[in-house]
Structure 1
């Protein structure tokens, strides 16, 4: 007597390894993404003007800004090279001379921490105007 053939069974596809891989990818991308971008530095005191409702300003003689060239660990003020850690005293001396405008130019060796340190010192020194110029000469 012939036995009836059993229906052909397909092998079961286990979804557990696929779910494990998806969770690992999810965790990887969550850990590698940035929640807050580190490159945004709030400077405060942004000028919003130039509209029709803005009133004309009187011509006030303004001194030229002091040029700060930021290198890795150092700042060049004019012809003097100063460590970033000693910049606070130099800014206080300039503040006593009523100098509160700065032009900050990073060099190729300056890193983000150097720029942040310089901007923090200028902010604590109550700088009225800080202008950043990139290596191409454009304002930021």
Structure 2
């Protein structure tokens, strides 16, 4: 049984409002996303095996928002790699302990880790 309603006419869907909504969504996602590339930093988890034998004392690097200290001497990120290389040749350095202050930004941490990664043969341990 089919009911007929007099005066009922099926309206077509207006595409104008649909296009406006799609444009607003596209604009929102374009403005809320970032297009810059970030460097990947690999963090190795410690294994349950025997600890590596270290014959020399590691260097202690303290990172905070306003300064960078290597064994108590203040450095910049630009001079850090040269100082690490100097310590590798003079005192046979093979490990760095990095202490990160809560005021340091994540970008400062990544920059410091990338500098330390460039120095071959240096193992890095991050402490809080």
Query: Structure 2 length normalisation: TM-score?
Result: 0.68
Question: Structure 2 matches for 1:62-101, cutoff 5 A?
Answer: 62-72=55-65, 74-96=67-89, 97-101=91-95
Question: Structure 2 matches for 1:109-120, cutoff 5 A?
Answer: 109-120=103-114
Are 1:19 and 2:19 counterparts? Answer: yes
SS at match of 1:81: strand
Tell me which residue corresponds to 2:42: 42
Question: Structure 2 matches for 1:118-137, cutoff 5 A?
Answer: 118-133=112-127, 135=128
Query: Structure 1 length normalisation: TM-score?
Result: 0.64
Give, in whole Å, the separation in 2 of the partners of 1:105 and 1:70.
Answer: 6
User: Does the 8 Å contact 1:94/1:100 carry over to 2?
Assistant: no
| Alignment length (residue pairs) | 122
Give, in whole Å, the separation in 1 of the partners of 2:114 and 2:10.
Answer: 67
Alpha-carbon RMSD: 3.5
Tell me which protein shows more helix as a share of its residues. 2
User: Does the 8 Å contact 1:68/1:105 carry over to 2?
Assistant: yes
Q: Which runs of 5+ in 1 are unaligned?
A: 1-5, 136-140
Q: Which runs of 5+ in 2 are unaligned?
A: 1-5
User: Does the 8 Å contact 2:68/2:74 carry over to 1?
Assistant: yes
